[in-house]
Amino acid sequence: MEKLTGPKKIKTAIFISGRGSNLNNLIKFAKTKKSPIIIDLVIANKQAKGLKYADQYKILKKIINFKKSKIAEQKILSILEKKKINFICLAGFMKILSNNFIKKFKGKIINIHPSYLPKYKGLNTSVRALNNNEKFSGCTVHYVNARLDSGKIIMQKKVKIEKNESEASLDKKIIKEEHKLYPASILKIFN
């Protein structure tokens, strides 16, 4: 007798470059009943600290060197195909994917960005917000398109910047919101 399972979960890959706090958060989310995704693969462009979560949860991980990005992307596409991955979450992935790669996964790659887009695309978002005396920053989950941090916005959350805010304290507040926003955005997409 075959065991009845719930709706089939979407096979997902997470791409990282850093400490992996969003990866860890997404893995925990994927293990919940309400999650529409299952994480089958973690891709990193270097020996990232966050890979420890792939080990901890026994998820296949691949480190792909991006010195020759065209070759790197071909390798990744081949792995994604083999693993039948249908959805990609970028979580602090510090490489820009080519238009060609994005086209192959059109509408199936999302990213989390540590600012309230369209403000502060790219890097050092908290420093830039603080230097410009902004009243708030935030985080955004958006679809990935050919232009950096410019895809259609799925969800956003504002974070108030206090008078004596430091980069570290602002980053900490934003990460806390990212951990709520990323799962909420995934639920919004698939429900």
| 118 preceded by a cis bond (ω within 30 of 0) | yes
Annotated catalytic residue, options 61, 113, 142, 179 = 113
User: Residue 143 phi/psi, 5° resolution?
Assistant: -70, 150
Please report which helix (H) or strand (E) contains residue 40, including its range.
Answer: strand 37-44
- Is 113 in the active site? yes
Cα torsion at 65, 71, 73, 74 (round to 10°)? -130
User: Residue 67 phi/psi, 5° resolution?
Assistant: -55, -45
What single-letter amino acid sits at 181? L
Active site residues: 113
